[in-house]
């Protein structure tokens, strides 16, 4: 349901049907107020096909992290492809997806204390068919889930989270304490182990590999301890962002298959959108360590394609070598890299590739250094690639879907709270 004024739409939206408003819109030809963010529908589908093919070849399941787009419609497309479930990070995200009709969620984060547990319990009471699994890394976080279970009125499954650098039990003694405490709680059940390898990544590839291997050894030790405490229970082992998922599978999957009563769940989320920056570099590194082609026959850095662009208008050319665009920190991610100018358009036609370089962003302005001899002019439109979609989507209340010929064909509301 859309009500109000939105970037990219010239008029006020009332109700949920945007079909008439979208007809004939293209960001490059002046028919849309800029800036806007678009998703290439074909690229999104291609990336999903590649990732689901990889998972199928290895016999693992996917619970894409829905925090990336916070779009129920885009999440549903991944569920329709066969995703095991979805991952979320907090109460608000869980509420959005449960209200949208999704049922199986990994709460891939610590939820807080007992007050947070009561809030989750109240949410579950409104959704009695929901299947939520909670990460716990301490006795306190386990007690918070127990509080949620008491409010909801039924037993809740927990995954013991181990970690380095961020949340997660740091050693086997902490894991053992969590397991022992879980045995004393009537409304909590052990369901497996969780970890996140991205938190230990370093600038040096060899140091990153060692850190992930150390973390994965702890995850396997934790899994063995949970298995000993729950010998007949089907368990979950979950890990995997969008950069190092091959390494955790290399380390963890053989032991999981040997167990025979467990499922591996990858939580990669940004991979379906990809980018022109941090994830492009990550997939190039994945190819260098031969982490994808042996499974799929595909080169990852070529098989996945960037699906996201942000479009902005040239506002000013105050100096021959400087262009100011209507695109700033309120519109585009800049935590990993500055946006990358991809193409210049005039009256809907592409007239140049890579028209300049962004050197800095203000709230509403991008500063581009350009060839002083170029003819870039006020009113021209530039398409920008992004780096790190997770911190770009949350600036937008609508993500616009483009078909292969460039026309806007869909409007996906986001729900970041």
- Does residue 86 belong to any structural domain of this protein? yes
Whole-number Å distance between alpha carbons of 187 and 177: 17
Same domain, 241 and 382: no
Q: What is the pLDDT, as a whole number, of residue 20? A: 76
Same domain, 26 and 48: no
pLDDT in tens, 95-122: 999 999 999 999 999 999 999 999 999 9
pLDDT in tens, 325-355: 999 999 999 999 999 999 999 999 999 999 9
- Does residue 291 belong to any structural domain of this protein? no
Question: 279, 313, 345: which is the final residue of a domain?
Answer: 279
> In total, how many domains does the chain have?
2
Residue 286, classified by CB atoms within 10 Å of its CB into exposed (0-12), middle (13-18) or buried (19+), is: buried
35 preceded by a cis bond (ω within 30 of 0): yes
Same domain, 113 and 243: yes
Same domain, 176 and 227: yes
Cα→Cα distances 25→8, 19, 21, 39, 350, Å:
9, 11, 8, 14, 16
- Does residue 126 belong to any structural domain of this protein? yes
Same domain, 65 and 36: no
- Does residue 298 belong to any structural domain of this protein? no
- Does residue 285 belong to any structural domain of this protein? no
- Does residue 164 belong to any structural domain of this protein? yes
Question: 228, 244, 279: which is the final residue of a domain?
Answer: 279
Q: What is the pLDDT, as a whole number, of residue 16? A: 63
Same domain, 29 and 149: no
Same domain, 332 and 251: no
Same domain, 312 and 177: no
Question: 279, 314, 338: which is the final residue of a domain?
Answer: 279
Q: What is the pLDDT, as a whole number, of residue 214? A: 98
- Does residue 297 belong to any structural domain of this protein? no
Q: Mean pLDDT of all residues in the chain?
A: 96
Same domain, 387 and 275: no
Whole-number Å distance between alpha carbons of 344 and 349: 8
Same domain, 328 and 390: yes
pTM confidence score: 0.96
- Does residue 299 belong to any structural domain of this protein? no
Cβ atoms 110, 161 nearer than 8 A: yes
Q: CATH code at 53?
A: 3.20.20.10
**φ/ψ (deg, to 5) at 235:** -110, 165
Give, to the nearest 10 degrees, the angle between helix 245-259 and helix 205-229.
30
Closest CA to 274 of 50, 3, 33, 6: 50
pLDDT tens track of the chain, all 417 residues? Answer: 677 778 888 877 776 666 678 999 999 999 999 999 999 999 999 999 999 999 999 999 999 999 999 999 999 999 999 999 999 999 999 999 999 999 999 999 999 999 999 999 999 999 999 999 999 999 999 999 999 999 999 999 999 999 999 999 999 999 999 999 999 999 999 999 999 999 999 999 999 999 999 999 999 999 999 999 999 999 999 999 999 999 999 999 999 999 999 999 999 999 999 999 999 999 999 999 999 999 999 999 999 999 999 999 999 999 999 999 999 999 999 999 999 999 999 999 999 999 999 999 999 999 999 999 999 999 999 999 999 999 999 999 999 999 999 999 999 999 998
Give the 3-state secondary structure of the chain. CEEECCCCCCCCEEECCCHHHHCCCCCCCCCCCCCEEEEEHHHHHHHHHHHHHHHHHHCCEECCECCCCCCHHHHHHHHHCCCCCEEECCHHHHHHHHHCCCCEEEECCCCCCHHHHHHHHHHHHHCCCCEEEEEECCHHHHHHHHHHHHHHCCCEEEEEEECCCCCCECCHHHHHHHHHHHHCCCCEEEEEEECCHHHHCCCCHHHHHHHHHHHHHHHHHHHHHHHHHCCCCCEEEEECCCCCHHHHHHHHHHHHHHHCCEEEEECCCHHHCCCCCHHHHHHHHHHHCCCCHHHHCCCHHHHCCCCEEEEEEEEEEEECCEEEECCCCCCCCCCCCCCEEEEEEECCEEEEECCCEEEEECCCCEEEECCCCCCCCCCCEEEEECCCHHHCHHHCCEEEEECCCCCEEEEEECCCC
Same domain, 231 and 310: no
Same domain, 185 and 199: yes
Q: CATH code at 377?
A: 2.40.37.20
Cβ atoms 216, 197 nearer than 8 A: yes
Range of the domain at 262: 43-279
156-161 β-sheet, strand order: 61-62, 262-266, 235-239, 188-194, 156-161, 131-136, 104-107, 86-88
CA angle (68, 71, 74) in 5-degree steps: 95
């Amino acid at each position: 349901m859309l009500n109000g004024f939105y970037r990219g739409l010239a008029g006020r939206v009332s109700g949920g049907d945007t079909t008439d408003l979208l007809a004939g819109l293209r960001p490059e030809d002046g028919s849309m107020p800029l800036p806007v963010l678009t998703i290439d529908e074909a690229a999104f589908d291609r990336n999903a096909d590649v990732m689901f093919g990889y998972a199928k070849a290895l016999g693992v399941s996917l619970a894409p992290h829905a925090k990336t787009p916070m779009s129920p419609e885009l999440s549903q497309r991944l569920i329709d492809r066969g995703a095991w479930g979805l991952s979320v990070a907090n109460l608000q995200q869980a509420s959005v997806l449960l209200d949208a009709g999704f049922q199986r969620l990994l709460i891939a984060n610590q939820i807080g204390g007992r007050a947070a547990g009561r809030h989750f319990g109240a949410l579950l009471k409104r959704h009695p068919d929901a299947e939520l699994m909670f990460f716990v890394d301490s006795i306190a976080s386990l007690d918070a889930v127990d509080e949620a279970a008491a409010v909801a009125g039924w037993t809740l499954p927990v995954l013991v989270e181990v970690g380095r650098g961020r949340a997660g039990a740091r050693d086997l003694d902490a894991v053992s304490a969590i397991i022992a405490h879980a045995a004393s709680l009537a409304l909590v059940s052990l369901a497996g182990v969780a970890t996140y390898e991205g938190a230990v990544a370093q600038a040096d590839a060899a140091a990153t590999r060692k850190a992930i291997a150390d973390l994965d050894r702890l995850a396997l030790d934790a899994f063995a301890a949970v298995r000993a405490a729950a010998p007949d229970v089907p368990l979950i082992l979950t890990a995997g962002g969008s950069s190092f998922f091959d390494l955790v599978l290399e380390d963890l999957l053989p032991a999981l298959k040997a167990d025979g009563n467990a499922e591996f769940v990858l939580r990669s989320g940004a991979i379906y959108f990809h980018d022109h920056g941090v994830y492009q570099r990550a997939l190039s590194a994945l190819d260098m360590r031969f982490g994808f082609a042996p499974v799929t026959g595909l080169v990852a850095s070529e098989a996945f394609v960037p699906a996201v662009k942000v479009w902005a208008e040239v506002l000013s050319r105050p100096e021959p070598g400087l262009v100011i665009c209507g695109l700033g920190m309120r519109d585009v991610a800049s935590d990993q890299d500055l946006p990358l100018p991809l193409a210049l358009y005039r009256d809907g036609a592409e007239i140049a590739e890579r028209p300049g370089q962004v050197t800095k962003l203000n709230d509403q302005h991008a500063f581009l250094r350009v060839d002083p001899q170029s003819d870039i002019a006020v009113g021209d439109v530039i398409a920008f690639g992004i780096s790190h979609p997770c911190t770009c989507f949350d600036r937008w209340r609508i993500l616009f879907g483009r078909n292969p010929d460039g026309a806007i064909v869909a409007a996906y509301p986001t729900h970041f709270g």
